Amino acid sequence: ALRRSSIDRAAALRMLPKNVPLSAVARPFLIPAMIDGDSQVRRLTVAASLLRAKYLHLKRKLTEAQIQSQATIMAVPAFKTLPLGDPIYSSKPFRVRPLHIISNNTNNYFPDVTIIKHFFHRYLVLQAKITNVSSSNNTTNNSNTNNTVTNSGSRTLADVSFVVAESSDEALLPSLVVALPTLPPKVTGSSWCVLATSPQRLDGTTAILTCELRYSLTAIDTVTGAPLNFTSTGRSFVEELQDLEIHPCEFEM
C-alpha cells in the first residue's frame, strides 16, 4: 500500500488517528513522501524552464514579425486604409541627433535614428529607422540587485515612436503615429509618422517640424534575452530631436 502510485500520501496523513505518533510512520511513510516531494519540485523546475524557453522563442518570433511588418511603407498594416495615393518623391536617408547630445557634447546613450521623407499629394510620411545600438559608456544601477547593468547588449527598447510634436505651418498637421512595440539590442526597426498636408496652402517658406523620439528602456537577461521584469516596461524617455525642414518644392519633384 505504500508504493508511490498506490495512495495519496497527503490524504492518508490527514486520516491518521490523532493518537498515532508521527514517529511511528516516519520511516515507512514520511521519508518516502519527502523524497517524492523533492522529485516533484525538480520535475516542475524542468517543466518551468521548458515553458520559459518556449515563451522566449515565440516572443522572439513575434517581435521579428512585428519589425518586418513595419519595414517598408507598403508593408505597414496601418497604412492599408490610408488613401496615400502615388508617391511623389522620397528623400535620401539622413541621420538626426537629440538636442541634448548636440548641446552638451556628451556620449549618453541614444539609439541611432535615420529619417526618410516620403512625399504624397495629400500626405507626408516620415520614416524613422531606429537602431538599438550598444553603448559602453552608459550604465544603470539595478536597485533590486545592487548590480550595475550596462546598456550594451542588456537593454530592449519598448513602445518606440517618432513623433512630430509641433509644426510651424498649419498646412502640415500630424495625423497618425505607428510605434514599434519592441526593439531588441542591435536590431533596426521603423517607426512612422504621417502628416496630412495641403501643399497648395504652403506660403512658399520652409516649414519647421519639431520632432521627438519616445521610448522605454527594459532590462533583459544577457544570456536568455528574457525581460528581467515582465510586469513593467521600464523607465520612459522623451528625446527632442533636431528640427526637420520641409520645403514646398519637395511636393513638386
| Residues 51 and 123 reside in one and the same domain | no
pLDDT tens over the chain, length 253 residues: 445 555 666 676 677 777 877 677 666 666 666 676 667 778 888 888 888 888 888 888 988 998 998 999 999 999 988 999 898 989 999 999 888 765 554 446 788 999 999 999 899 999 999 999 865 444 444 434 333 333 434 688 999 999 999 999 888 999 999 999 989 888 999 999 999 998 788 777 889 999 999 998 876 665 555 565 555 567 888 999 999 999 888 888 7
| Residues 129 and 211 reside in one and the same domain | yes
Rounded to whole angstroms, the Cα distance separating 206 from 169 reads 9
Identify whether 224 is part of a domain: yes
Single out the residue of 188, 73, 179 nearest to residue 130, CA to CA: 188
CATH number at residue 143: 2.60.40.1480
Tell me the whole-structure pTM to 2 decimals: 0.70
Rounded to whole angstroms, the Cα distance separating 218 from 232 reads 8
| Residues 57 and 88 reside in one and the same domain | no
Enclosing domain of residue 41: 1-69
| Residues 101 and 214 reside in one and the same domain | yes
Identify whether 38 is part of a domain: yes
User: How many domains are there within the chain?
Assistant: 2
| Residues 114 and 235 reside in one and the same domain | yes
| Residues 33 and 145 reside in one and the same domain | no
Rounded to whole angstroms, the Cα distance separating 96 from 109 reads 14
Last residue of a domain, one of 36, 69, 102: 69
Identify whether 203 is part of a domain: yes
| Residues 57 and 180 reside in one and the same domain | no
Rounded to whole angstroms, the Cα distance separating 214 from 152 reads 19
